[in-house]
Amino acid sequence: MRTPVSWIREYADLPADLSSDDLARRLTALGLKLEALERPGAEVRGPLVVGRVLTMEPEKQKNGKTINWCTVDVGDANGTGEPQGIVCGAHNFAPGDLVVVVLPGGVLPGPHGSDAVEISARKTYGHVSAGMICSAHELRIGEDQSGIIVLPPDAGRPGDDARPVLGLEEEVIEFEINPDRSYALSLRGVAREAAMAFDATYTDPCLRDVPPANDEGYPVRVEDPVGCPVFVARTVTGFDPSAPTPEWLARRVRLAGMRPISLAVDVTNYVMLETGRPIHGYDGDKLQGSIVVRRATAGERLTTLDGTDRALSPEDLVVCDDSGVIGLGGVMGGETTEMSDATSTVVIEAAHWDPVAMFRTGKRHRLTSEAGKRNERGVDPTICEVAAERVAELLTTYGGGSVSPGVTVVGTPPAPEPIRISARLPEQVAGFPIPTADTERCLRAVGATIQRDADGDPGDSLTVTPPPWRPDLTDPYDLVEEVVRIVGYDKVPSLVPLPPVGRGLTREQRLRRRIGRTLASLGCVEVVSFPFVGEDTFDALGLPDDDVLRHTVRLSNPLSAERPLYTTTLIPGILDAAARNLGRGAPGVSLFETGTVAFPADRGPAPVYGVDWRPTEAELEKLFEAIPVQPLYLAAVLSGEREPAGWWGGGRAADWSDAIDLVRQLGRELGLEVEVRQASRMPWHPSRCAEVLVDGEEFGHAGELHPRVCQAYGVPRGTAALEVDLDFLMNRAVDVPRAPTYSHQPLAKEDVALVVEDGVTAADVEEALRSGAGELLESVRLFDVYTGPQVGDGKKSLAFALRFRAPDRTLTEAETGAAGGAAVAAAAAAVGAVQR
Amino acid sequence: MSGPNSEYDPVEVTPLQAEQVAAMREEALAAIAAAQDLDQLKRARLEHAGDRSPLALANREIGALPPQARKEAGQRVGQARGAVNAALAERTAVLEAEAEEGMLVEETVDVTLPTGRRGRGSRHPITLMSDYIADLFVAMGWEVAEGPVLEAEWLNFDALNLGPDHPARTMQDTFWTEPADDHLVLRTHTSPVQARTMLERTPPIYVICPGRVFRTDEYDATHSPMFHQVEGLVIDEGITMAHLKGTLDHFAEQMFGTGITTRFRPSYFPFTEPSAEVDLVCFVCRGEAGAVEECRTCKGEGWIEWGGCGVVNPRVLAACGIDSERYRGFAFGMGIDRSLMFRTGAEDLRALFEGDVRFSSGFGTEW
Ligand SMILES: [Zn+2]
């Protein structure tokens, strides 16, 4: 809301020496937040004068543009009194118009972000152009670039300083208005707050006598009094459509951020800014028969003032006449009854509309308008007559004609509901003493009336009736906010509350930290990616068409049409990050990410309950069931150099085993033995992919990525990755390990080399050795794999270090040898191993 | 030790004369002193203290001397041999020390050679920041509550006094799932976790809810469709705005340093009443006079917007089944990403989400 300070001062008798900065600061502390304090045109220096266009000759240029060679009367401002010759590129004016001219020597603010421009007489398009005719944009007093400023005829005389005419000496405070403070979308409301802030006298612009309603007014029938509780109509006849907008009114409308258009339009906008009540004007000659307010019927259409043809919904409130729908009530009028430059009869509508209906219609038709913005937040329902009267008065004052005696008033304004509040509630909520007298003073200051309860303790219970312009005040706590903000939020003391003893972090929260630290300790850097993917993401991962990961939650309004899905895997995001790092010159990268993925619940829509009471347990159950399943996953990608070459020797690239090792290490951290099995699953290399299991249950995959996937993501072949279900791991994690016991007896070593078929896995051989070695076995470690002529085609030799130890004695060679032999025998039996 | 000399020959025993023993001793000491390394010393030992050295031979002659001469000669030779052995031991120690020193010098390495054979890992600064905030509140006895990011519309909006026709719904640009009548959203704030907490627990409630949230904002240096929030919720008897202020002042000082406190400005949130914006004392200029004019961080205002807060609207308590006559609450929320940028001086929000290890690996594993 842009508010010229002089306009605020018209209603609030503020101290003369109060600066606009202080005013804005104080209002910010009250809840009207300072967005910007503008001094429009403050950067304009030098001669800026009113000029009258004497002649204009359009000249077509070679570049296809047409410029106007003008002579402009600038009085004595140029020192000669002779007309000034100026080239102008705009066309929205005619000889005789008053315009704004900056003469040579003047300085205009440059385009945003650039230096100021000094104006001098210069040769252009074959003329010497001595100055410039200005647009609002060039003076930085508005956004309008479509043409130059044409001043009202009474704005001044040629040669006058244009600054006061344009309001360049005015300061404008722009406030950010919260949705509950709709009253502050008017000068009436802002000035009331300002007066309250400085204890100044306030003059309500809506306190004005209005003629009583009668039967002579324009006929109106409201068929939906819930949607439209009040409808006031007044008529002005004999209006001169060519009458110009008075300069002061145009200036205020302009300073408030709206564009002056014509007297009739400017007046309705002005009254809306002044009172907060949106007004609609109809061309009375185009209206056919009675005005009717009702809900639209299916199939009805309307072309609104913005030129859009709209299909109406049976929920839309519409204004009709005999011709059909002529407006979307409270939101936007229709084209057929629009006021034009020939309108001489104006029917003024000032109506109160149901905010919910306004909100829904605005949303449905994607229509935002100054009127809609106010109507959907709630406007004072009691000022319809006053606003209509004010419009009629301004129209006839400046446009001639007369106000018809007929006054149509349909309906009565809904009365605000009184609120009972304990006088102690404000201090109980605020946490510092607020005497009842202060509470009453604050509530009266915002316009409420207060009644002490006759029966109760006179100091305790108050019945407060909010003013009609405060539809937001419905609950005791709303009143508390009013009291505390006026007493001052800065009065609230600072006191740390003392909760009962807490239980600290949950098991899962502690485990998540452990997991993150473990991955970091293994050299991985955590990343955070967006969870949005597209179908082509799954194609790049090589997932089959029926893959479970393709069954996703889809967004109806994604930011990017290419990525409308909530991801079911963390690998794409982390692969993108890996590719980005490598592309930026990193020799290698080890990344991890933990995050939730989502799988549709497929349990039907989530219910939407009311807001006045707690849903039942069964209802909550139904709600929770409908929410997608969102397990916590961990993914890691290892790509390029894992260990660099250096003076110590050669380096090595990350490979499939690094990914599997990360899972094993993580399992060990959580007290779990991870089993690894050969598997085949996209996006992994079909022969270099492991599924990882705990207690026989699979919880993810690790290994080398498929070469096609590496290519699709632009990472080197051999890139390794893993993705596991962390919820699974955390469920099984060992919280407090048992303290281990260990023997102090000497260690006995036995190394064996076993030849097996290629297809036999190391894990199978190891398992057989373990089963055969007996209780004395302490550990088995594979320390070499050999393939080559010495073992023959299709075979490999696996060398294992077996370590034995007894709890109570030194083992003899014979004991160790026997145990080793038994282990080898078991391997021979289980996987056909032959000792070399 | 040789046996008594049976063929005593006075000529042969001349070496046992005092001058001769002294000469042998001097010669031996000189050779020991002259040894420059352990090899030379070994040779000197063989020559002057070995079995065939003059002093050893002399010693052997003692037994052949007449008994009256033996004592004197034995004493003389014994002293000489003792002196030579002592000198040998001393010289050995010196030369061994020198030898060790030389060997250690030869083993010199360039300790400035690079040592990093594996890159250092790290956790993401947002994770670290969330943990830091959680710890701060856990230390006060609060607990950490969490919930899903794909959330029921009712929990994200309605339960928080944001009915379907509430104008404030348009303040938050929401990602909806398809089809729209599934009534699911990507949560626009972590407030649904507050609602879940109130539905699942009974007061007193003291929880902090950090988490990921989504809004349909375009992605630039200060906006992101995904960002992180931390919200706090307290429901207890006798709670006031003073408790809210005290909690936020403490939080701010823990985050940004002593003296960085907060101020409240009236605001509007459907789920709180009264509501306030929370501003921080500018941690760059500290709002001090003089410095204020030039401060770019707060644009000279001395205050920086941090988040929103308020007293929990009794309507929200009702929707969650909490007796609003008995209990009152407060809630607050702020951006973790924004706080992180404040704390670390990061200037572009996008650095948090593009995964460049040059950014993330600087933050370590714990704050
Ligand atoms: Zn500052």
Q: Using CA coordinates, name the residue in chain A closest to B266.
A: A31
Tokens of A346: 């104006």
Residue B161: the pLDDT is 87
Instruction: State the smallest CA–CA distance between residue A54 and chain B in angstroms.
Output: 47
Domains in chain B, number: 2
Cα distances from A600 to residues A14, A274, A607, A631, A693, in angstroms, run 61, 52, 16, 12, 25
Residue B11: the pLDDT is 45
Q: Both B54 and B176 in a single domain?
A: no
Q: Both B193 and B286 in a single domain?
A: yes
Residues of A in contact with B177 (CB under 8 A): 553-556, 566
Residue A136: the pLDDT is 81
Q: Does B159 touch chain A (CB under 8 A)?
A: yes
Q: Using CA coordinates, name the residue in chain B closest to A506.
A: B144
Q: Are residues A525 and B265, on separate chains, in Cβ contact within 8 Å?
A: no
Q: Are residues A527 and B113, on separate chains, in Cβ contact within 8 Å?
A: no
Q: Which of B175, B275, B354 is facing A555, going by the closest CB pair?
A: B175
Residue A458: the pLDDT is 55
Interface-testing mutation among B110, B111, B117, B277, with chain A (most A C-beta atoms within 10 A): B117
Tell me how far apart the alpha carbons of residues A623 and A604 are, in angstroms, rounded to a whole number. 10
Ligand 1 centre and the CA of B306: distance in Å? 13
Q: Are residues A429 and B311, on separate chains, in Cβ contact within 8 Å?
A: yes
Residues of B in contact with A496 (CB under 8 A): 140, 243, 246-247, 250
Instruction: State the smallest CA–CA distance between residue A11 and chain B in angstroms.
Output: 24
* B115 in any annotated domain: no
Residue A114: the pLDDT is 67
Q: Both B67 and B152 in a single domain?
A: no
Q: Which of B47, B75, B106 is the last residue of a domain?
A: B106
Q: Using CA coordinates, name the residue in chain B closest to A516.
A: B123
Q: Both B277 and B325 in a single domain?
A: yes
Indicate the SS3 state at residue A210.
coil
* B314 in any annotated domain: yes
Q: Both B295 and B206 in a single domain?
A: yes
Which residues of B, range 219-278, sit inside 8 Å of A by Cβ? 219, 225-226, 234, 236, 239-247, 249-250, 261, 263-268, 273-277
Q: Are residues B177 and A554, on separate chains, in Cβ contact within 8 Å?
A: yes
Three-state SS string over A336-399 comes to: CCCCCCCCCCEEEEEEECCHHHHHHHHHHCCCCCHHHHHHHHCCCHHHHHHHHHHHHHHHHHHH
Q: Both B346 and B224 in a single domain?
A: yes
Residues of B in contact with A715 (CB under 8 A): none
* B71 in any annotated domain: yes
Tell me how far apart the alpha carbons of residues A56 and A63 are, in angstroms, rounded to a whole number. 20
Residues of B in contact with A564 (CB under 8 A): 178
Instruction: State the smallest CA–CA distance between residue B322 and chain A in angstroms.
Output: 8
B237, with CB counted inside 10 A (0-12, 13-18, 19+), is exposed
Regions of chain A with pLDDT less than 70: 111-114, 142-145, 453-459
Instruction: State the smallest CA–CA distance between residue A621 and chain B in angstroms.
Output: 12
* B120 in any annotated domain: no
Is the pLDDT assigned to residue B292 strictly greater than 70?
no
Instruction: State the smallest CA–CA distance between residue A557 and chain B in angstroms.
Output: 6
Q: Are residues A484 and B274, on separate chains, in Cβ contact within 8 Å?
A: yes
Tell me how far apart the alpha carbons of residues B270 and B164 are, in angstroms, rounded to a whole number. 12
Tell me how far apart the alpha carbons of residues A36 and A3 are, in angstroms, rounded to a whole number. 11
Residue A252: the pLDDT is 92
Residues of B in contact with A428 (CB under 8 A): 240, 328
Ligand 1 centre and the CA of B289: distance in Å? 10
Q: pLDDT tens digits for A536-580?
A: 999 999 999 999 999 999 999 998 999 999 999 999 999 999 999
Q: Are residues B245 and A494, on separate chains, in Cβ contact within 8 Å?
A: yes
The ipTM value here is 0.86
Tell me how far apart the alpha carbons of residues B240 and B237 are, in angstroms, rounded to a whole number. 9
Q: Which of B52, B72, B106 is the last residue of a domain?
A: B106
Which residues of B, range 105-134, sit inside 8 Å of A by Cβ? 113-114, 116-124, 126-127, 131, 134
Q: Does B184 touch chain A (CB under 8 A)?
A: yes
Is the pLDDT assigned to residue B1 strictly greater than 50?
no
* B345 in any annotated domain: yes
Whether residue A384 contacts residue A230, with contact meaning beta carbons closer than 8 Å, is answered with: yes
Structural domain harbouring B286: 125-363
Interface-testing mutation among B182, B233, B234, B301, with chain A (most A C-beta atoms within 10 A): B182
Q: Which of A363, A478, A499 is facing B206, going by the closest CB pair?
A: A499
Half-sphere exposure of A41 (CA within 13 A, CB side): 27
Nearest residue to A439 (alpha-carbon basis) of A489, A484, A488: A484
Q: Which of B106, B134, B166 is the last residue of a domain?
A: B106
Tell me how far apart the alpha carbons of residues A412 and A418 are, in angstroms, rounded to a whole number. 18
- How many C-beta atoms surround the C-beta of residue A154 within 10 A? 14
Residue B290: the pLDDT is 58
Domains of chain A, CATH where assigned: 2-39+172-197 (3.30.56.10), 48-166 (2.40.50.140), 220-410 (3.50.40.10), 419-491 (3.30.56.10), 507-732 (3.30.930.10), 748-835 (3.30.70.380)
Ligand 1 centre and the CA of A34: distance in Å? 18
Average per-residue pLDDT in chain B? Answer: 89
Indicate the SS3 state at residue B117.
coil
Higher-scoring residue by pLDDT: A397, B72:
A397
Q: Both B77 and B137 in a single domain?
A: no
Q: Are residues A612 and B315, on separate chains, in Cβ contact within 8 Å?
A: yes
Which residues of B, range 290-349, sit inside 8 Å of A by Cβ? 311, 313-315, 318-321, 328
Ligand 1 centre and the CA of B342: distance in Å? 12
DSSP E strands in chain B: the ranges are: 143-144, 150-152, 184-186, 205-214, 226-236, 262-266, 272-281, 303-312, 328-335
Q: Are residues A523 and B141, on separate chains, in Cβ contact within 8 Å?
A: no
Cβ-proximal residues to A342 (8 Å cutoff; 6+ apart), any chain: A241
Tell me how far apart the alpha carbons of residues A639 and A590 are, in angstroms, rounded to a whole number. 6
User: How many A/B residue pairs have CB atoms within 8 Å?
Assistant: 301
Q: Both B165 and B271 in a single domain?
A: yes
Q: Using CA coordinates, name the residue in chain B closest to A530.
A: B226
Ligand 1 centre and the CA of B335: distance in Å? 19
Ligand 1 centre and the CA of B305: distance in Å? 11
* B137 in any annotated domain: yes
Indicate the SS3 state at residue A476.
helix
Q: Both B69 and B200 in a single domain?
A: no
Instruction: State the smallest CA–CA distance between residue A446 and chain B in angstroms.
Output: 15
Tokens of A675: 């089993």
Q: Are residues B165 and A356, on separate chains, in Cβ contact within 8 Å?
A: yes
Instruction: State the smallest CA–CA distance between residue A365 and chain B in angstroms.
Output: 14
Q: Are residues B114 and A359, on separate chains, in Cβ contact within 8 Å?
A: no
* B26 in any annotated domain: yes
Q: Are residues A559 and B218, on separate chains, in Cβ contact within 8 Å?
A: yes
Q: Which CATH number do you get for residue B279? A: 3.30.930.10
Q: Both B168 and B140 in a single domain?
A: yes
Tell me how far apart the alpha carbons of residues A644 and A588 are, in angstroms, rounded to a whole number. 9
Instruction: State the smallest CA–CA distance between residue A374 and chain B in angstroms.
Output: 11
Q: Both B349 and B218 in a single domain?
A: yes
Q: Both B163 and B23 in a single domain?
A: no
* B116 in any annotated domain: no
